[in-house]
Amino acid sequence: MIEVEVKARAREDTKERIAALGATSIGVENHLDLYFNSPLRDFKKSDEALRIRIKEDGARLTYKGPKLDQQTKSRRELTIRIDDPTQMRDILSLLGFVLSAEVRKRRTKYSYQGMVIALDEVEGLGTFLEVEAQAEANWENEKDRVLSVLKRLELEDTIRRSYIELLEEKRADL
C-alpha cells in the first residue's frame, strides 16, 4: 500500500477552512509514536522509518519506505496491529533496534472525498495539517488529489520533513 501524504503548517483558521470544505469529523486521537533505528542501516540516511504507534484503540507497528517524490511524503507503508507495545519494544531492542525518538500529538481527524485530513497538535512543535490517501497503484493520481485539498485550504507550502526531523531542527536551534 502507498500512503500518499502532504503536510503543511496549519493556520489559525484551518479548522474553519476544513469545515467549509464539507469534511466530516471522524474524531480525536492521542498518539505516542516510538521510532526505532535499525542495526543494519541508518533509517535517517535511507529515508525509512519503523514506528510503534500507541493510541486509544490499541497499538500498531508500521514500516515506512523511502519517499517516492520531491513534493510529498508519499511512500510505501506496511502496518500491523500489535497486542502489547511494551513486548514489541522489547523484541525490537533484543534484535538490535534502538529507540531513536518519541513524538506525542493530539490528532483531530476528518473524512473528505475518500481522504483523511488530520489536524495535528504536536508537542513541542505546534499545529500541522496532513492530507492522506491510500493507493495500490497510480499513486500519482492521489498525489494530485491531496495537493488539491491543500491548495483549497490555502496551505500550499508543503513540508516533507517528519515530526522527528522538525523536533531535531528545533533542538539544534536552541
The three cell numbers locating residue 160: 516533507
State how many domains the chain has. Answer: 1
Tens of pLDDT, residue by residue over 55-82, are 999 999 999 999 999 999 999 999 999 9
Q: Which of 35, 110, 112, 163 is catalytic?
A: 35
Q: Can you tell me the distance from the alpha carbon of 16 to that of 8, in angstroms, rounded to the nearest whole number?
A: 16
pLDDT at 35: 97
| Active-site residue flag, 110 | no
Domain containing residue 80: 2-173
Tens of pLDDT, residue by residue over 97-140, are 999 999 999 999 999 999 999 999 999 999 999 999 999 878 99
At residue 45, φ and ψ (nearest 5 deg) are -75, -35
The domain that contains 47 carries what CATH number? 2.40.320.10
